[in-house]
Every structure is written in C-alpha cells, then in structure tokens.
Amino acid sequence: MTAPADQRTADDIATLRSWIESCGPGGMVFFGGAGVSTESGIPDFRSTGGLYSHSQKYSYPPETMVSHSFFEAHPQEFFQFYFDRMIAPEAKPNQAHKKLAELEQRGVCRAVITQNIDGLHQVAGSRNVYELHGSVHRNYCTGCKRFFNLEETMQLHQAATDGVPRCPDCDAIVKPDVVLYEEPLDEEVITGAVQAIAQAELLVVAGTSLVVYPAAGLLRYFQGDKLAIVNLSPTSADKSADLCINAKVGEVFGW
C-alpha cells in the first residue's frame, strides 16, 4: 500500500535532514532560487502573483524592463519597475535562511549559492554566499564608481524628480549591482560557486525551477554522493536527483 502524499513528504524531509546532519565538515552546499525568499514575502518571477504577473501596470514586459539595453535607453521606466517590484527593504530572513546560517556556523554548510538579489542570507548570518545575480544592497555610480548602499540609493531615487538615482558627486546614474538580462555573470562568483559545488558531498537545490541559465548549468559540476531537490513544482533535474521533495523550502528547513 502506498503511503499518503503528506506522509511521503514528511518521510522525505526526515531523510534529507538526516543526510544534512551526517555530512562531514563542509560537506553540504545549498543552491537556492526565488522560492527560498517567497516565505519572506518576496515574490518570485513566474508564478501566479509573481513579478511577471504585474506586467499590465507597465508599458513594457517585465523581461524587457530588466535588461541592460532597457536600463540604458529608458532609465526612468527601469527604476520605476525596479523600486516598485524588485526590492523589499522590509523583508526578513525566514526559517530556511536562519537554518542555513546555523549550518554554516556548525561547519556543515560549505557555501550558499543563490540566484536571489535580496541579501537575506547575509542578514540571517551566512558568510560564504555566492550571489550569482548580484545584490540590491550594492549600488555603484556609473561615472565615478562611488558605492551606495540600498538605503542611500532609495534616498537618491526619492529625491530625484524623475526617479532616477544620480550620484551627488558627478551626477551620473547610480546602477544597482544586479545582473540584468544581456549582462554576464561575475566570473569570480561563478568560479567560487563551481568550486563549492565540485567539493560538495551533498548538494541541496531548493526554490528554483532550474530554467534560468547559465546559473542552472552549474549543477553539472556536482560530483558528490547525494543530490536533493526541494521545490513546489517539478524541475528539469528531478530525474538526476537522489531525493525530490515538493514542499516549501522553509517547511523543509524548519527544524
């Protein structure tokens, strides 16, 4: 007789937790996507209620507005969308962020590799974090390269009559250090992420549908013992995984 789905999920969660707890020093690496932060109130991109579902409010599709060429040609519209939909300064780390920070402090989690730009892993206490798509907390003047944190950039945005944050030193646009479409990923970040994945005995992939490349392609560097995938919906890598759990990331990491 087949166990009920809820019981199977509970059993699978228990299995993953036992794998994590039995890892050697630095044996686990976590690879996360938007689903890690949805429980902190940050919308993902493609689900109902996600970032792309609000496209009717704007004159351009969201995919267009988060491209480098759009940023260059239409900075006012870019920043309207960016500050409306892509930052969540009030968001707090959830159970998954906190557990991963704890696992790092205990020497279990070697690294967190994230596709998110919200910085919540660091707020929770994780230190070895590879941000594949950058961070809203880092912003740079496109002219003199002066650094601005998120709060400062928001103040510049609010003070500007057109909503475009500009450097008080040279008047050039202040650009968020996030990877837009048409922009390459940071090579140092990619190198670090690849090395971490290659050294992992357990790779936990969570909150991502694995459709965004080149980030999703990093999984091919995993040579360890166990691959676990935690996502509400199936992913393209499920057939390669040793364990698949269709549940919220915070639920799985809530111990």
Q: For the chain, count helices (H), then strands (E).
A: 9, 9
- Provide the β-strand partners of residue 245: 230
**Known catalytic residues?**
133
Which segment of 1-15, 87-101, 168-182 scores lowest on mean pLDDT?
1-15
Judge whether 17 is annotated as a binding position: no
Distance from C-alpha of 247 to C-alpha of 199, rounded to nearest angstrom: 27
pLDDT higher at 64 or 52? 64
Judge whether 244 is annotated as a binding position: no
Judge whether 23 is annotated as a binding position: no
User: Which tens digits make up the pLDDT trace of 202-218?
Assistant: 999 999 999 888 888 99
Half-sphere exposure of 121 (CA within 13 A, CB side): 26
Judge whether 38 is annotated as a binding position: yes
pTM over 0.85: yes
pLDDT, mean of residues 90-97: 97
- For the domain made up of 1-42+92-133+184-255, give the CATH fold: Rossmann fold (3.40.50)
Domain spans in the chain, listed from the N-terminal domain onward: 1-42+92-133+184-255
By the 8 A CB rule, do 232 and 56 touch? no
- DSSP-derived letter for residue 41 is T
C-alpha distances (whole Å) from 188 to each of 1, 81, 111, 132, 192 are 51, 29, 15, 10, 6
